[in-house]
Amino acid sequence: EAGVVQSPRYKIIEKKQPVAFWCNPISGHNTLYWYLQNLGQGPELLIRYENEEAVDDSQLPKDRFSAERLKGVDSTLKIQPAELGDSAVYLCASSLGFGIRETQYFGPGTRLLVL
Amino acid sequence: SQQGEEDPQALSIQEGENATMNCSYKTSINNLQWYRQNSGRGLVHLILIRSNEREKHSGRLRVTLDTSKKSSSLLITASRAADTASYFCATDETGANNLFFGTGTRLTVIP
Residues of chain B above pLDDT 90, percent = 78
Which of B91, B98, B103 to mutate to test binding with chain A, by most A CBs within 10 Å of its CB?
A: B98
Smallest Cβ–Cβ distance between A41 and the set B30, B98, B103 belongs to B103
A99-112 average pLDDT score: 89
pLDDT level of residue B93 (50, 70, 90 thresholds)? confident
- Tell me the chain B residues in contact with residue A42 when contact means C-beta distances shorter than 8 Å: 2, 4, 88, 90, 101-104
Q: What pLDDT is stored for residue B3 in this prediction?
A: 62
For residue B83, give the 3-state DSSP assignment. helix
pLDDT per residue over B51-80, tens digit each? Answer: 999 999 999 999 999 999 999 999 999 999
Is B98 in contact with A100 (Cβ distance < 8 A)? yes
DSSP state letter for B1: -
**What residues in A contact B4, CB-CB < 8 Å?**
42
Question: Per-residue pLDDT averaged across A32-58, rounded?
Answer: 92
The span from the first CA to the last CA of chain A, in angstroms, equals: 37
pLDDT at B25 over 90: yes
Residues in A touching B92 (Cβ below 8 Å): 100-101
DSSP collapsed to 3 states, chain A = CCCCEEECCEEEECCCCCEEEEEECCCCCCEEEEEEECCCCCCEEEEEEECCEEEECCCCCCCCEEEECHHHCCEEEEECCCCHHHCEEEEEEEECCCCCCCCCEECCCEEEEEC
For residue B55, the SS3 value is strand
Has residue B12 got a pLDDT over 80?
yes
Q: What is the pLDDT of residue A98?
A: 82
Asked if omega into B8 is within 30° of 0 (cis), the reply is: yes
Q: How many angstroms separate the Cα of B107 from the Cα of each of B10, B64, B90?
A: 6, 19, 17
- Bridge partners (DSSP) listed for residue B55: B64
| Partners of residue A6 on adjacent β-strands | A23
Q: Quick check: B54 contacting A, CB < 8 Å?
A: no
Task: Count the Cβ atoms, other than its own, within 10 Å of residue B2.
Answer: 18
Q: For A55-98, what is each residue's pLDDT tens digit? A: 888 889 999 999 999 888 999 999 999 999 999 999 999 999 88
Decide if B43 and A40 are in contact by the 8 Å CB cutoff. Answer: no
Name the pLDDT band for B41 (thresholds 50, 70, 90).
confident
